[in-house]
Every structure is written in structure tokens, then in C-alpha cells.
Chains A and B, each alone.
Chain A
Amino acid sequence: MNVLAPVRAPEEVPVLCRAGADEFYCGLTPRFWAERYGGAWVHRRSPRSAGLADEAALARVVAAAGGRPVFVTLNAPSYPGDAIAPLVAFGRRLLERIGAAGLIVAETELLLALAEAGLADRIHVSSLATCTNRGAAAFFRDLGVARIVLPRHLTLDEIAHVLVPGVAFEVFALNDGCVFEEGLCATTHTLGPFCLEDGPGTEGIGDDVLEGYAFWKWTLNNCGCRTNRGYTLGPCGLCAVPRLRELGVASLKVVGR
């Protein structure tokens, strides 16, 4: 079972390797993106806080990883129609020229386009695709993808049911949490997290319930904790690792890029 670590800069890679990271993931915004689509995000997260600077930085990450796979996110929930072809070309370049091992993809349209381009076996289906049952897992497997990232809000028993043979699975193991189901949240963090202000103002919901809701959201939001180097230090799935190993989960994701 691999530990999948986030990377924001090439300098982090040796440290993460020493700490036991087996594989890495990062964001990278294509050059054409800002010119064509302005401030819209090409990933689920802000390119300013969660992405490598450029392709050269990705190449340095790949080199520093020393053969450990490096995956790149293209996981916005939805893209403009005319973005698909250039994103496929961008993805192919990352895989074939820069040495990325795979692409983490959420949108079905982009996923289908990458599969059409012969790249299905380099795709990890993002948690935003909301694969919550065996049938959905079989659907993605039959498209030929390499891995499925399961959504956050599944119990261990539910995870056990979802796993189907013929495709690898990844689960969240440390940090971060969405209040809603990330793939079913049609808001964007470019306007601030919608969920942080959610709850108060709801008719008929009393203060005691709101207090519990606020506390629960605080726990999802890392209980306000960070390491002394500024990294998030949040909800942890350590106690679930033996069960996940037994189930055959391939990769444990550490959030925080």
C-alpha cells in the first residue's frame, strides 16, 4: 500500500521521500489557460496555492522522485467545451515528454477524451467523480482507467463494497475535508469555501445544532492545526490503515498541496 504525498515545489520531494512517500501528486496550470479562461481554475484548487510553477518544475519533481510515480491533477469538475482538446494535448505532453505517471481527472468529458486519445490507462478518476458503489467503479474500470480515488464520505464497510477487481483504489488518509460531497458541490473556492458559511441562517435549525455543525466543520478543517512549517495537520485515518490494507486499497492519499 503506497503513501501518496502532495507536492508544491521540487525541494519538497527529497524530504517526502525520506518520510516514506511512495508516490506524488501535484497541480500544474497550462500556459494557455489564464489567457483563454482568466481566473477560472484548471484544478479543483487554486493554482496559486496548490500548483507547481511550470513544466520545468514538474520535470525537477519527476527527477527528484527517482522513479517514484508523479501524478498531475486536471480535476476541475467541469471545463468549457473548447478546453478539452488543448487539455488532452497538455496531458499527453506531461505524460510523454515530462515524465508524469498519470493524470487525475474528474470531468467525464475530459476523461472520455483522454480515453479516446489512448491514455485511459494513465488516468486516475478523481474523488470528484463520486464513485460510491461497485457499479460505478465497474463503469470507470471498463473505460480502462488505472485507478479510482474514492470520495471522502464513505465508511470502511462502504469502501469494502465498492472495491472491484481490475482497477486500483485510492482513499483519503490524512488532512482536509469537505462538508458537502466534493463532486456534488457546484460552488467554487474562487469565491471562498461556500461550506464555511453554511448552517447559520437556516430556518428552523437551533443554536445547539449549529454549534455541533460548526464544531464538526472545525474538525474537518484540521482543527485549526498546522505544522511549524505551515503544512496542514488534520483529520487522520491512521486507525483505518490495517482494514484498508486488508481490503486491498492501493494508495493512501495525504491531502494538502
Chain B
Amino acid sequence: MEYGVRLETPGVPPEDPRTVCAPAWQDRLAPGRLVAVYFGAEFCEHALPTADEAEAHCRSAHRHGLEPVLLTPVVTDRGLAAVERLLAELVGRSWTPSVVFNDWGVLGLLRTRFPELSRRAGRLLNRGLRDPRGPAGPPSPAGRAHRLRRLLADLDVAAVETDPDAAGGGYLGDGAGGLSRALHLPFSFVASGRNCLIKAAEHPGTGLTHLLGTPCPRPCRSGPRRVARADTAAPLWRAGNTVFALAAPDRGPWPRADRIVLHSRPAP
């Protein structure tokens, strides 16, 4: 098993990647080598790093012999232009991170403008249920998304990624077809969108709809907020525009993967 870790700021990666998780999770994870550092934003175009921040991640990863992997979210055209500027800056500075795309427009950008960058299909392409309130969908432990994986392989995508969903793991497939498989742990996203309660808290008296597309001061940088709900005992967080749930370590079996990407806390 190989590991990646999600870092919010560049720094010395842990020697044992499992140590970024709570002890209950560490015991469940097989030993393995850290091979990649993930950074960027999976859920919010306002949370994309600056070119300097991204370069610092790339430099740090390079120094430690690790693959830098830039996470990108679903984007508007403005966000797509921001991703393009960011990648152009990085490539112009001779950095070639792998890029996780969660948006078909970003994939198109990668194919046409940055073919030298390795592409990874992000977890938002898996639209399987992750409702923390209970089992809600029919399990589909084997054989989902054959055509999607074939399409991704045809488009020279290197890997497919997900977090745990309710269907039980068939989304990643069996590794045939040349696609590497990555599983993000221990948090699953629950719900995301452009109407951000954390951003709204910075603009009292302004309706959320009026905040669409406006600049964001990134109050989510201060970290995720715990969320308590009466209808579920699952540990929940709100990180920027996205609600996350902590998967229970004993809930498996987890999808078979070639790489596990560990997050110390939820981030947009």
C-alpha cells in the first residue's frame, strides 16, 4: 500500500503517514510508504492556492522525494480561468504537479493546455450517496462505473479517486484498464455547494444568494467547525462550503485501492 497525505500548509511530511489520523484509524491501516503530498482545494474555487503557495507545496514535496498533487474543485468559468492561471504559473516555474480534477471543464483544460501534467479523477466524480443519517441506497459492491473508468482511461487519466460511499466500493473497480485507484480517508464529503455559511458569517445581513461569485476572505482557513445534529450520531464537520462526516474505522470493508490519501482534518 502506498500513501498520500493532504497538507494545508507546506511542511515536513510525517515519516509514517498513518500518524496524521486518530489512533483508532492508525490501527486499521496497513503499513506503507508515503509517496505523495496533496494540496489545493477540492470543493471551493475561492480556496485555490496562490501560485506561490502551490509552488511552496511542490518544492517541499520535491525536497522529500514525493509526488505533488494539486486538488481542484468544480468551477465556474472564473474558477476555470483561475485554475488555468495557476497551472500556467506553476509550469512556467518548471513545476509539474499531478492534478486532481473534479470538473469536466478542468479535465478539458488539462488535455488541451497542460498535457504534460498527470491527471487524476477526483472524488466528486463519484456521485454515490454518503448520507450520514443512515443506509439509504442499495449496495453495489461490485461493478460500478465501468464506462466512466473506460472513458477516463481513454482520456489518458492516470487514476480514479473516491472517499467511502454508501454503495460499498465498486466505483474504483479492480484496477484493470490502467487506472490507479486512490481512497481518501477518513472523511467523506456529505454535501457541498456555492452557498457557504462560513462565508455568510463574515457578511452579516447579506443573503447567501447575493454572495454568489463575490470575493471570499477565506474564513475557512481557521479550520473546520464541528456540527451536531439530532438526526445522526456521526461526527460531522463544516469546512468552508462543505459538510463532512468521519467514517467509522470499523465500518469497512473499504474499497480496494492502490493508494490511500489521509486527511488530518476536513478542508474545502
Residue of A nearest to B212 (CB): A155
Does A224 reach chain B (CB closer than 8 Å)?
no
Q: Which residues of B contact A136 (CB under 8 A)?
A: 103-105, 108
Measured CA separation A208–B197 after assembly (Å): 12
The 0/1 profile, CB within 8 Å of B marked 1, for residues 82-113 of chain A is 10000000000000000000000011110011
Are A153 and B195 closer than 8 Å at their CB atoms? yes
Stretch at the interface among A10-18, A49-57, A176-184, A244-252: A176-184
Question: Which residues of B123-168 are within 8 A (CB) of A?
Answer: 124-134, 136-140, 142-148, 151, 165, 167
Q: Which residues of A contact B66 (CB under 8 A)?
A: none
Minimum CB–CB distance for A222 against chain B, Å: 15
The count of chain B contact residues (Cβ–Cβ below 8 Å) is 70
Does B191 reach chain A (CB closer than 8 Å)?
yes
Q: Which residues of B contact A185 (CB under 8 A)?
A: 190-193
Q: Which residues of A contact B197 (CB under 8 A)?
A: 198-199, 202, 205, 209, 213
Q: Which residues of A contact B209 (CB under 8 A)?
A: 153, 216
Measured CA separation A36–B230 after assembly (Å): 32
Given the known A-B contacts A78-B167, A109-B148, are A205 and B225 also in contact in the complex, defined by CB atoms under 8 Å? yes
Does B177 reach chain A (CB closer than 8 Å)?
no
Minimum CB–CB distance for B35 against chain A, Å: 28
Are A179 and B145 closer than 8 Å at their CB atoms? no
Measured CA separation A205–B224 after assembly (Å): 12
Measured CA separation A200–B126 after assembly (Å): 28
Q: Which residues of B contact A190 (CB under 8 A)?
A: 136
Measured CA separation A112–B152 after assembly (Å): 12
Are B192 and A180 closer than 8 Å at their CB atoms? yes
Given the known A-B contacts A108-B148, A201-B228, A216-B207, are A191 and B170 also in contact in the complex, defined by CB atoms under 8 Å? no
Are A184 and B124 closer than 8 Å at their CB atoms? yes
Does A60 reach chain B (CB closer than 8 Å)?
no
Stretch at the interface among B15-23, B51-59, B75-83: B75-83
Are A158 and B213 closer than 8 Å at their CB atoms? yes
Are B191 and A112 closer than 8 Å at their CB atoms? no
Residue of A nearest to B108 (CB): A135
Are B104 and A139 closer than 8 Å at their CB atoms? yes
The 0/1 profile, CB within 8 Å of A marked 1, for residues 194-231 of chain B is 11011011001101110011000000000001111111
Does A192 reach chain B (CB closer than 8 Å)?
yes
Are A78 and B105 closer than 8 Å at their CB atoms? no
Minimum CB–CB distance for A256 against chain B, Å: 20
Are B147 and A213 closer than 8 Å at their CB atoms? no
Does B181 reach chain A (CB closer than 8 Å)?
no
Measured CA separation A94–B129 after assembly (Å): 27
Measured CA separation A113–B201 after assembly (Å): 43
Minimum CB–CB distance for A3 against chain B, Å: 23
Measured CA separation A199–B139 after assembly (Å): 30
Known: A108-B127, A186-B128, A194-B131. 5 other contacts (CB 8 A): A81-B140, A109-B145, A136-B105, A180-B195, A205-B197
- List residues of chain A with CB under 8 Å of any chain B CB: 36-38, 40, 77-82, 106-109, 112-113, 116, 128, 130-140, 153-155, 157-158, 161-162, 178-181, 183-188, 190-192, 194-195, 197-199, 201-206, 208-209, 212-213, 215-216, 219
The 5 closest A-B pairs by CB, nearest first: A135-B105, A181-B193, A180-B193, A80-B140, A139-B104
